[in-house]
Copies of this chain bind each other. A is one copy, B any other.
Amino acid sequence: MTTAEMFNSHPSETRLDRELLTRTVDALLSCAQACTVCADACLSGEEQDARMGECIRTDLNCADICATTARVLSRHTGDNAEVARAQLEACVQACRSCGDECERHADHHEHCRICAEACRTCEQACRDLLATMP
């Protein structure tokens, strides 16, 4: 809600579709937040085998990359299309990797199941936005 209002009040033109941009930024913020809590929940779990270590690591990478991608997209005007595109592509990789990893634990950990969903939604939003970029 705030995201849409803020983009609508921005004085500059952009070649990106504002509705799609808003949806992507909101998906990025939700995904970053889900990954941060998922990493913490994995740390608190009983079964701390090597596999959960890998899940925490992909969570942390995905949280950092989604947060940075949301910021780059929030500075969407100007001449930075190449940077935004490359960052979105890195984000697609991070969301795919984290979605795959969390899905492996979805049956045992509700937090991994929800986080995997947030990653899939975010990956798709990034792909949709990339498809509209020149």
Contact = CB atoms under 8 A, between A and B. Distances in A.
Interface of A: 1-3, 5-7, 9-12, 25, 29-30, 33-34, 36-41, 43-46, 48-49, 52-54, 56-58, 60-61, 63-65, 67-68, 70-72, 74-80, 82-83, 86-87, 89-90, 92-94, 97, 109-111, 113-115, 118
Nearest to A70: B33
Contact of A33 (B25, B43, B61, B92): B25
A9 B111 contact: yes
Interface of A is mostly: helix
How many of these chains are in the complex? 4
A61 B60 CA distance: 12
Contacts of A75: 36, 40, 57, 60-61
Contacts of A114: 2, 5-6, 9
Of residues A43, A77, A109, A111, which shows the largest number of chain B Cβ atoms within 10 Å of its Cβ?
A: A43
Given A2-B30, A71-B36, A10 B111 contact: yes
Contacts of A37: 3, 6-7, 10, 74
Nearest to A3: B33
